[in-house]
Amino acid sequence: MNLNYRNNSLDGTHKVLNYTYIRMLLALLFAGWICFFIPSYGQQGYEIKFKINGLKDTTCMIGNYYSNGTYIKDTLKVDGSGRCVFKAPADYPRGLYLFVITEKNYFDFVINNDHKFSIETDRNDPVRKMVIKDSPDNELFYQYIKFNGAKYEQIQQWQDKIKNAVEKKDSLDIYNKRIDEISKEMIAFKLAIAKNNPSSFTALLINAMKEPEIPEIPLLQNGRKDSTFAYRYFKAHFWDDVDFTDDRLIRTPVFYNKLKKYYDNVLIQIPDTIIRELDAMVEKARSNPEMFKYLIWFTTYRYETSEIMGFDKIFVHIVDKYYVTGQTTWVDKTVNENVIKRANKIRPLLIGCKAPNMIMQDTSLNLVSMHNIQAKYLMLLFWDPDCGHCEQEMPKIKEFYDKNKENPGLEILAICSDTSLVKMKNSIKKKKMNWINVNGPRTLTGDYHAQYDIISTPVIYLLNEQKEIIAKRIPSDKIGLFLENYIKHPAKP
């Protein structure tokens, strides 16, 4: 076929144009081909070849770290020479993975920027015998692991010497000094890795583990040292080297612990403080859907089940801000509905809320309205005559009541869950319950189980004069201390 139209033309102009068009089209196609295939070549899948000496004709597993656990992702068939290959698509989540030989024998490896590499090691000593080819990321990771391992062994030797030492104090000082030196070497090595290889996975790990070093404490205008500086600095710089838009962090064992430490130990344990910090953190992660999802999960789960009184306020806030507004798109509709339902159930019972009224019959069948009870402090006690734990708690509650009835003015409204008035009266008599007693099932205000989220007995709520909840689900032996503290600082229940 002759494409040279110019040679065959009598009046060449039109044909020349056509030919130019074809050339342009071919050039565009070629450019398109380049644009399409070059990046896809760069995004080729992962192919990791393993050779484990001492293993043959068996099955091993590939797992990954996620949050505070490890999860099996795949199984690999190991051939007679101990070889196996792990293949994964280019968009496989990056992070720290495990090659599991047995439950107690495994080694870590990194899935990050290197797509094709090989790992050779020995089943009896996988870390020390590790040989990596074509993966600078894994080489650096193992350089770090091996260095740390060697240094830990040295520290262990010195610690053994200290333990068995019969020498004088001078010798012990020398041993301790040596341990300090080794620790400093480890820190220096770690920081050097992070500084010299900033884009490596090992640097990501090291930065996530790093904690701020407090500089010299400045002096205040009055010449005294700023006593809160250290805390403020530590908190402000706690996340300095952590990028909340990098979801590789979730697939490491360090991020969960750092988050936990921040929420448990760094932040002041006041719901409003935690809510403010939590929102700011989630906002930072918003551009990475995986991190956004993880942080919402972490905080929802943590505060939905928190044992700390009053922290359910944080759960309600999370639900209102992220679930109700439809931002949790990955959550199943039923899950979303149930989370919202749970938040709605505990919302009227948050600390500071006015307690829902209960109108119930007392032992003489007269109606008693909780909101009409005049008392500086009102304890709601949900109990049952057959409940063994109520039996154990009641003498302590009685003692506390008798002591605090007049001053500071405590009253108790005991709500019995048994329908039998005879049983209730007998139990009241036996336990000498000299406070206001009502029968829970004989109510005009609906099921108290639903109203007060009662699933078992005994349960105690403490209200102030305005019938606002100041404490809930508090053990009987802690009420005294709580009330004492509340009377001193009423604004901070």
Partner 1 sequence: MTTKLTKNYFLINYRERWGLSVFGWIFLIFIILLSSFLGIRNLYAILSPVQREKTDILVLEGFISDYVLYDAIKEFKNNRYKLLIATGTPLEYGGLLAPYRNTAMIAGKSLIKLGFDSTKLIIISTDEIRNDRTYNSAIVLKRWIRANRPDIKAVNLMTMSVHGGRSKLLFKAALGDSIRVGIISIPNFYYGPQNWWRSSKGFRETMNEAIGYFYVRYFFKPYESELSK
Of the candidate residues 455, 489, 491, 492, the single one contacting partner 1 (CB under 8 A): 455
Closest CA to 441 of 358, 330, 326, 380: 358
Kindly state whether residue 332 participates in binding partner 1, applying the rule CB under 8 A: yes
Are 482 and 394 in contact, with CB atoms under 8 Å apart? no
Of the candidate residues 202, 288, 457, 464, the single one contacting partner 1 (CB under 8 A): 457
In this structure, are strands 359-362 and 436-443 parallel, antiparallel, or unpaired?
antiparallel
Site string for partner 1, 232-251 (x = CB under 8 A): --------------------
Identity of the residue, 76 or 424, whose beta carbon is nearer to partner 1 in the bound complex: 424
- Contacts to partner 1 from residues 372-391, by CB under 8 A: 384, 386-389, 391
The sign of the CA dihedral 238, 241, 246, 251 is negative
Say how far apart CA 87 and CA 374 lie, in whole Å.
Answer: 72
Kindly state whether residue 334 participates in binding partner 1, applying the rule CB under 8 A: yes
- CB atoms closer than 10 angstroms to residue 195: 10
The stretch among 120-128, 133-141, 303-311, 369-377 that binds partner 1 (CB under 8 A) is 303-311
- Contacts to partner 1 from residues 46-75, by CB under 8 A: none
Cross-sheet strand order for the sheet of 116-122: 83-88, 46-53, 116-122, 131-133
Closest separation in Å from C-beta 174 to partner 1: 44
Say how far apart CA 136 and CA 144 lie, in whole Å.
Answer: 12
Kindly state whether residue 456 participates in binding partner 1, applying the rule CB under 8 A: yes
Kindly state whether residue 449 participates in binding partner 1, applying the rule CB under 8 A: yes
- CB atoms closer than 10 angstroms to residue 28: 10
Identity of the residue, 50 or 66, whose beta carbon is nearer to partner 1 in the bound complex: 66
- Contacts to partner 1 from residues 386-425, by CB under 8 A: 386-389, 391-392, 417-420
Of the candidate residues 102, 301, 352, 468, the single one contacting partner 1 (CB under 8 A): 301
The stretch among 80-88, 103-111, 191-199, 296-304 that binds partner 1 (CB under 8 A) is 296-304
Helix, strand, or coil here: 220? coil
Cα dihedral value 366, 367, 369, 372, nearest 10 = -50
Say how far apart CA 211 and CA 223 lie, in whole Å.
Answer: 28
Contacts of 455 by beta carbon, 8 Å cutoff, 6+ apart = 449
Identity of the residue, 132 or 358, whose beta carbon is nearer to partner 1 in the bound complex: 358
Are 267 and 231 in contact, with CB atoms under 8 Å apart? no
- Contacts to partner 1 from residues 132-171, by CB under 8 A: none
Of the candidate residues 111, 331, 413, 415, the single one contacting partner 1 (CB under 8 A): 331
Of the candidate residues 212, 441, 480, 493, the single one contacting partner 1 (CB under 8 A): 441
The stretch among 27-35, 254-262, 335-343, 401-409 that binds partner 1 (CB under 8 A) is 335-343
Say how far apart CA 130 and CA 110 lie, in whole Å.
Answer: 13
User: Which parts of 100-228 fold into alpha helices (H)?
Assistant: 136-163, 169-196, 201-209
Determine the longest span between alpha carbons in the chain, in angstroms.
Answer: 123
- How many residues lie near partner 1 (CB under 8 A)? 31
Of the candidate residues 305, 357, 369, 445, the single one contacting partner 1 (CB under 8 A): 305
Summarize as ranges the residues that interact with partner 1 (CB under 8 A): 297, 300-301, 304-305, 307, 331-332, 334-335, 338-339, 384, 386-389, 391-392, 417-420, 441, 447, 449-450, 455-457, 473
